[in-house]
Chains A and B, each alone.
Chain A
Amino acid sequence: MSRVGVITFPGTLDDTDAARAVRYAGAEPVALWHGDADLRGVDAVVVPGGFSYGDYLRAGAIARFAPVMGEVVTAARAGMPVLGICNGFQILCEAGLLPGALVRNAGLHFVCRDQRLRVERTSTAWTGDYAAGAEIVIPVKNMDGRFAAASSTVDELEGEGRVVFRYVDGNPNGSLGDIAGICSADGRIVGLMPHPEHAIDALTGPGVDGLAMFTSVLGKVLT
């Protein structure tokens, strides 16, 4: 059985749901601790949402220096699949694994709602189980979700097809190009602001559209 690590920082909120999503997908979730420079031999890593270290200074700015992140950066550069959700996306950007940054929502409000997204790229480690162009509904909940980057960086992402998810039916935060999620050049590192781990069971979410993100990495990537 594939083992997928889920990191907990002080202030992480969604590690339990992320581990549950990994379990629903059919893999074994492995708890990883921010203070340990040890990935415990996992096959992939999920960096979950929350407010790591209180997000003092900037969202994700302190978490990127955590001992476990040094290991994640090394492993990710060697091709290990990594999924960053919300605060996890912010941390991956701060760590330089993904380009750009996430800044304060344009409307200055914390936005919490079920959000429609279009899956723009299925050739990544985390989206292979979606149909190209599929529209999915998963929750978005953040204060700093607006993707920002130099226009040359955005052009590069668009030109290389590295926008993985795009907001449809309304951009919740003023994100450039309606960008909700992006990936690394090799498609193995994906970051997005909305929360697929909250949409894996109709009992506790708007549906099950998020589950395919966690099954994608198992079927085609970790075999």
Chain B
Amino acid sequence: MARVVVDVMPKPEILDPQGQAVANALPRLGFSGVSEVRQGKHFELEVDDSVDDETLAKIAIGFLSNPVIEDFVVRRIP
């Protein structure tokens, strides 16, 4: 078994109003110096050793993310 992390983020050109709302809240809460926030999704998968990188990429691009609007990164956690 291994842990695999898939991070999915809205593409830079896609407006992210959720991230903007978080960014706008920070100064009101007394936190200064944060100029931008982007909000995405973080998936943690427990996978058998038999699952190869190609399969993980298919899961990430075909299901966990929509390549039209999102980018993803797949990482195996040692």
Contact = CB atoms under 8 A, between A and B. Distances in A.
Contact of A103 (B21, B63, B69): B69
B51 interface: no
A65 B64 CA distance: 13
A88 B58 CA distance: 24
A93 B68 CA distance: 10
- Most chain A CB inside 10 Å of its own CB: which residue of B14, B18, B21, B64: B14
Contacts, number: 38
A148 B21 contact: no
A149 B68 contact: yes
A104 interface: yes
Contacts of A100: 68
- Most chain B CB inside 10 Å of its own CB: which residue of A57, A65, A146: A57
A174 interface: yes
A108 B18 contact: yes
A116 B50 CA distance: 54
Nearest to A108: B17
A58 interface: yes
Interface string B3-38: 000000010011101100100000000000000000
Given A103-B69, A148-B69, A151-B13, A57 B64 contact: yes
Contacts of A151: 13
Contacts of A149: 68
A61 B14 contact: no
Contact of A148 (B14, B18, B63, B64): B14
